[in-house]
């Protein structure tokens, strides 16, 4: 149950008014120009990993972007390579009997 004092405080502050249900813009979302810069750099150097692209764009592109953001943008546009690492240890070890 909500205390009456809280209700009346919210009412006096105007916080009980109906808000728009329209989605609000995320404060740290990349602009379209920034996304197109990431895609252009990825197409220019297809051998670079998302980490290397993020470093290059942060150094030369004029804005800061994380490796995970670069990867999400590349994945969304079908440009992400699968980066599955091969395991360093064998999947199964078979014991040999000595004769």
Q: What is the pLDDT of residues 21-40, one digit of tens each?
A: 788 888 889 999 999 999 99
Whether the predicted pLDDT of 16 surpasses 90: no
Predicted confidence band at 56 (pLDDT cuts at 50, 70, 90)?
very high
What is this structure's pTM? 0.61
Pick the more confident residue, 80 or 93: 80
- The answer to whether 53 and 42 are in contact (CB under 8 A) is yes
Structure tokens at 6: 């809280």
Look-up of token digits 């599955």:
84
- The whole-number pLDDT of residue 70 equals 96
On the question of pLDDT at 83 being above 60, the answer is no
| N residues, the chain | 99
The helix, strand and coil proportions of the chain, stated in percent and rounded to the nearest 5, come to 45, 0, 55
């Amino acid at each position: 149950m909500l205390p009456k004092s809280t209700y009346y405080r919210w009412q006096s502050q105007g916080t009980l008014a109906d808000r728009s249900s329209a989605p609000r813009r995320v404060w740290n979302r990349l602009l379209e120009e920034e996304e197109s810069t990431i895609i252009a750099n990825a197409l220019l150097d297809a051998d670079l990993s998302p980490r290397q692209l993020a470093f290059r764009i942060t150094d030369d592109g004029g804005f800061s972007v994380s490796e995970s953001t670069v990867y999400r943008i590349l994945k969304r546009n079908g440009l992400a390579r699968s980066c599955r690492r091969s395991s360093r240890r064998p999947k199964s070890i078979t014991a040999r009997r000595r004769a």
